[in-house]
A = this chain, B = another copy of it.
Amino acid sequence: MRNHIDREEGRFPADIKKTKQREEIFRILTSAREPMSAVDIYNCLLKTMPDAGFAISTVYRSLAVFEEKGYVAKTSLTGSDMSYFEWCQGQHRHYAVCLKCHKLIPLKDCPFEHMELDAAEDFTITGHKLELYGYCKGCRL
């Protein structure tokens, strides 16, 4: 997990070997406003750098490295079978996901921000996943 005192937002992590591909993935992920799937990122890469010859496997491997160091969070969302990745910008976020159009609506606060402890005995809680689901304005019946 990320314990670096000198960690700066917007800079490529110092404890991860820098490569052209990783920098590009970093850029895409840090400028995204919501979680992206590996395939989303891959397509984005193809548009940005059509001649670079990226491979989807590189995307997965890079994401795994980022995740391992705690820079990226991997989640799965209701209504989709694939994984989504989000750059952990300081504090985490949660979403309300529309069951029909799959739109993601970020929640302002995390209700669990100040109650991380003591929910279960004999268990050290290091994090949580929270997702609300239902129907957004346009999809409501």
Partner of A124, one of B111, B128, B131, B140: B140
Knowing A99-B126, A126-B99, the reply to whether A107 touches B133 (Cβ < 8 A) is no
Docked-complex contact B99 and A123, CB < 8 angstroms: no
Indicate whether A39 reaches chain B with its CB closer than 8 angstroms. Answer: no
Within 8 A of B (CB), among A93-124: 96, 98-99, 105, 107, 111-112, 115, 119-120, 122-124
Given A120-B132, A130-B130 in contact, is the A96-B76 Cβ separation under 8 Å? Answer: no
> When the two chains form their complex, are residues A131 and B128 in contact, meaning their CB atoms are under 8 A apart?
yes
Given known contacts A125-B134, A126-B133, A127-B134, what 13 new A-B pairs fall within 8 Å (CB)? A76-B76, A105-B122, A107-B119, A107-B120, A111-B112, A120-B132, A122-B137, A123-B134, A123-B137, A124-B135, A125-B133, A127-B132, A129-B131
CB-defined A-B contacts under 8 Å, sample of 18: A78-B129, A96-B120, A96-B123, A99-B126, A107-B119, A111-B115, A111-B119, A119-B132, A120-B132, A123-B137, A124-B134, A125-B133, A125-B134, A126-B134, A127-B132, A127-B133, A128-B130, A128-B131
